[in-house]
Structure 1
């Protein structure tokens, strides 16, 4: 037994449910094989994730959790969820619902608006009982039957499910003996990684044999205990270098290494630069005000002092560099939280801000009152070179571009024999409409660097996000379709309907299994680092073929 996994105060959720009218909006079953993923998606409704079986890494609005069979998780409206890695084949039921309460005067029901929640709120888990699991199967069966009467029956079963969940939450009384053994060992590492920890010691904590424990730990968390400990030590070393004037010798001792020279060698192998070079870069407090600016700065080998981070809008940077970036700005939908971001920068001013030239004038004025601002303009290679000249990192930019050209050359040699002049079109699907997706990052990388042939005349692109009806897509007759589906509820429901449309299934690329779904990240970002990742994804895409 345990407490419900929420991102937000669980007592508030219980209070809202107990005093509201619940209305189901959708029920779906998702199966993911080992190695699979579920892209981060935004939910407008309360979403219950019932995991019947499987194992992996679940990220709920920036919080990383262990996805396990027999557990339930809740994502609140306005938050995001996704599965980063599946270690053992997973089966989940997603139940979306809204809550309604009487409006002013008590005359009509109004949808309950969930507030933006504090990311520091506590988290927990609740066991998926057999009774709730059976109810979820019955709900799915009746929901997909297509009968209004069966949908009505779903409402009764769903209220029963909510009651069982609230009752279980009320009766929950977790103790340490009920804790997952691998999670217990990982928690011990998290609290003692500066010490010498033997594998046998961790196996004893988990109550498992040493060999079984080591295999199980690597399977669940994707790395050995030694690598996990080293990662924690290196991350803490970076934090100490940034936040304190400690000597390198003292930092090495603080994180668990008695030999500072061994620590320095390990640090360089881990991050690619020596501790002294890293310290020199960290002394420059440079803020980035967009994901594109972050991609420019990281290509120069400099980790930002401040950057926008979010698991959906900037998840790559959050996962890989979030622990190294002292000041986290909001990346929640472009332009939504700009005033709070400005306030954060004003309270802890950087030495320099990298910013997109198309930023709103009001924001520019506020940023310029905090620190010097460098605006990114022109093509992405120009942006990189200009930023490098400003920061004295011309050599780093030259080296990065040379490495990129070698990567592109390798990709072209791998892809060209496979596609043999076949045509491509890149589309985006949002809220029921297709549009031609031909932003500069697409045209520059796919049709420029990689030399792919566009099914749509690029010289006629007067509107880079031109809407296309299905009939127009059919006329293009592209050999390959790369499709970005917006990850939010309304679009995902309409995408399911499109996949049943005979006109869609008659497209040549769909018939010949040449349709590939592409994520918004890195494909939406215009930066050196994002383009490097796009080239990697294209090589992987065609290597699979």
Structure 2
């Protein structure tokens, strides 16, 4: 069953075409804080870049459609030399039949209750063709063509509705959408699976299977997520009663609500209510204290249980004991830890409530999670926006310096030499996807990294070699000297061309906003220094 534009009911919403324009901009196209005055559709015809809608960051590409509700704030930056899009704005009116007569009032909503963001559509090319046909008709519109223009608009909206996709590229099922709308509206009441299945016109078992396939979770989990998200909003209000919040979102039992909230968020509702005033410590090998620092909050203590290969077992245990004592003495309200410290869970929990972050490769997800735990979500969103725009700018600058030359990252990590791969790490994504640098063929394309003994490392067939020494201990210096004595090193184009660059701990730094800014600073410095030497004729020209 497809959504239909309800033109003949007693209360109907009717979208009318207000205007259409085709926008074409050149290199360095930017939009700063524009606000949409009418509901709009934006179709990207060519180009790619970043589109930020109400602080939500989206990657924009050709043939992608975006929905913009009235009041949406837009920021954008182009990565391409040419950007072109069609903007379609609508005036939506509501028709009401009162005593046999139709009355018309303005309605600021989009049809079908669409919301701001990308709108994945099957058969993109057909959708693009329909939008361009409507634009052509609009350009030559005459008074007698009024009805035809709006008919084409309704057909376009209907086509988009019937072919829109879920995030997982499954076709949207309007019946499931109706049941989700019911969850949103009545989450504070008792909702049964039978009710939801009946609304969707399915048996409970079929409904559960269809829902999980479309949303990648069960209806019960989805409803719990809605309730917890609403509870989080209410817990930030003052005054606030946990018992009242539990009841308002559909959890009649306060203790059950506490358990579900802790499972979903990691901390209790009472701690969540005062999260902006918490004294926070970290237990991490990923430098989570730097995430906190980026958010304007300094960790009162840190624990790093990393096993340094150059320390004896007794030295490692002594170092760990000192850190644990300092952590205990600092009396934190909350400890944020990574999964490398799960073996210390009992010790950490005896000091303060402890949240272990899920092991994911998306640094933004980790940073957002930390920001939520300490009430700094706005700061995290600001970081993401600043980084998106700066990464675009720096990527363009680096392409001028490096052009199509190949780069490779090597870490001196006794007893092995590590070649950084091109996947499954925030640094790899930053270098090769976001900044557009070209990896050398020796960079493992299917692995996060590969370790080699110094004498067995393949020829470093790369134009630029970025080297990080894990430590300045004698073992690291000895391993680096062994590497430099190999033919693989001495035959490297990067070594022969004088393009070997010592770098900071980029692998660690790539997990934080401040660290990513520093990586880009170092890359710009390396590129500019190389360009200056090339200009002076001291090394080979690019």
Shorter-chain TM band? 0.3 to 0.5
Larger radius of gyration: 2
Higher relative contact order (Cα pairs below 8 Å, separated by 6+ residues): 1
